[in-house]
Amino acid sequence: MSYRNILVPLDGSRFAEAALPLATRLARSTGARIHLIMAHEPVPALVGMGDTPPLVDVDWRNRDEEHSYLAAMSGELLREGFPLVHYRDLEGAPGPALCEEVDRIMADLVVMATHGRGAIGRLWLGSVADHLVRHLSIPVLLVHPAEAEAPVDPVIRSILVGLDLSPESESILDPVVRLAQITDAHVTLVHVLEPMLDGLAMGMPYATAIPVEVLEEQRTAAQRRLDRLADRLRNQGLSVSARLVQSGLAADGLLETLDDKRFDLLALTTHGRSGVRRLILGSVADKVIRGARKPVLSLRPPRQRQGS
């Protein structure tokens, strides 16, 4: 399996450009086309009859700057040896416009920074990145903008996969297999055991400890499931290990595990098990994406793509 079209949203800032090293490395490994995309939101202008429309002039200048910027970035990649580079500026709100472009070019991966800054920069989690993560049916590889402050080694040698063992969370495994086969990365499946129940989710004002015997049953069942998933991935030619982590909060457990220098990337779905413990954007996945200082491969599982 390989990537064919990788879309990289840009906003003219070096923060958004933090996604380029990883995107170009993946493109070089697979022969994929890189699509540099910027969405232009027109400046609203209210002018009277016969007036010179200064805001319209500003809007056109912004368009010219955006187009020149994309052309320059494309030229730079071409000089670096990437013959398959396309660029395009879009009209309209960035989130919906980028979703339409993903469909138009049949992209199979989006690589983008979680934040952006600049005169036209609006790529921050909770806006454009959040919109794409919530609405796209393809994986979105998110790079934290802090990585733009220093040279980044984008080599992916080891992938950590967060699972809550629901079918929804396990839908991330297909994109992980694809990425691991391309990068020859080791895959570690991890499940976080939470010894406390969320009291608010159960209608109680306080957290409740899970009985020791119940926690042990959960541990045994989780390890058994992880081992079966690991065997499935090994049958596809991957190097795989499985581990359980215990933490008061699933997000904390994943972030603490990701901090281990052996891991280069975390993969997870944006929705998972409903109920007390779940990977759901706005909860575990949201906290992990915001807190991670390493790239995060996210996927909205199929069951969540309709009507939301």
Residue 272 — pLDDT band, cuts 50, 70, 90?
low
For residue range 90-139, list pLDDT tens digits in order: 988 899 999 999 999 999 999 999 875 544 444 555 688 989 998 999 99
Full set of structural domains in the chain with CATH: 5-149 (3.40.50.620), 158-304 (3.40.50.620)
| Whether residue 149 has pLDDT greater than 60 | no
What is the mean predicted confidence (pLDDT) over 248-276?
A: 85
Residue 125: what pLDDT?
59
Integer Cα distance of 262 and 249 in angstroms: 22
| Whether residue 282 has pLDDT greater than 80 | no
Buried b / exposed e along 103-132 (16+ C-beta atoms within 10 A) = eebebbbbbbbbbbbeebbbbbbeebbbbb
What is the mean predicted confidence (pLDDT) over 235-240?
A: 97
Asked if 183 and 158 touch (Cβ cutoff 8 Å), the reply is: no
Integer Cα distance of 277 and 267 in angstroms: 18
Determine the 3-state secondary structure of 131 from DSSP: helix
Q: Longest Cα pair distance anywhere in the chain, in angstroms?
A: 80
The single-letter DSSP state of residue 270 is S
